[in-house]
Amino acid sequence: MTTSFDPAAVIAEFIDAVAPYDPQPDSSPVALLGLRTALGDETFALSDHVIRAMCRALASYRDPEDRGECVACGGRHLDENLRCQECGRLHGVLGQVIADHVRRVAEAAEGGAPSGSA
């Protein structure tokens, strides 16, 4: 993120967004969350409903940088072109096209007949 933000305000906004739907709004908090930032210290009382909402939000979250896992090395850092930043393997349709081309060129260089047309 390039802009600064107040983490305590983010947490307070989340709590405010889900609190109206709490079926037991007067129940005791199940957790206290203490947050220390450069902007100061905050404490939040979290109900069971808020904790469950956090769990659902986390379960449905998908990071925009998540482009899958490398099938060669298992790395989690594929760039926007689906090239593994750890081992260099290309993934997806482009990766398959390049891998097929490399295979055909290697077969031709070895004197074998290409196994597909290009």
Residues 11 and 35 in one domain: yes
Domain of residue 71 covers 64-118
Q: Does residue 40 sit in the same domain as residue 85? A: no
Name the pairing type of β-strands 31-37 and 40-46.
antiparallel
Task: Answer yes or no: do 72 and 109 share one domain.
Answer: yes
- pTM of the predicted model over 0.75: no
Whole-angstrom Cα distance, residue 113 to residue 107?
Answer: 7
DSSP letter (8 states) at residue 83: B
What span, in angstroms and rounded, lies between the C-alpha atoms of 24 and 49?
Answer: 8
**Tens-level pLDDT at each residue, the chain (118 residues):** 445 789 999 999 999 999 999 999 999 999 999 999 998 999 999 999 999 999 999 999 999 889 889 989 999 999 888 889 999 888 888 777 888 888 899 999 887 655 555 4
Gap between the Cα atoms of 52 and 30, Å rounded: 11
Shared-domain flag, residues 117 and 68: yes
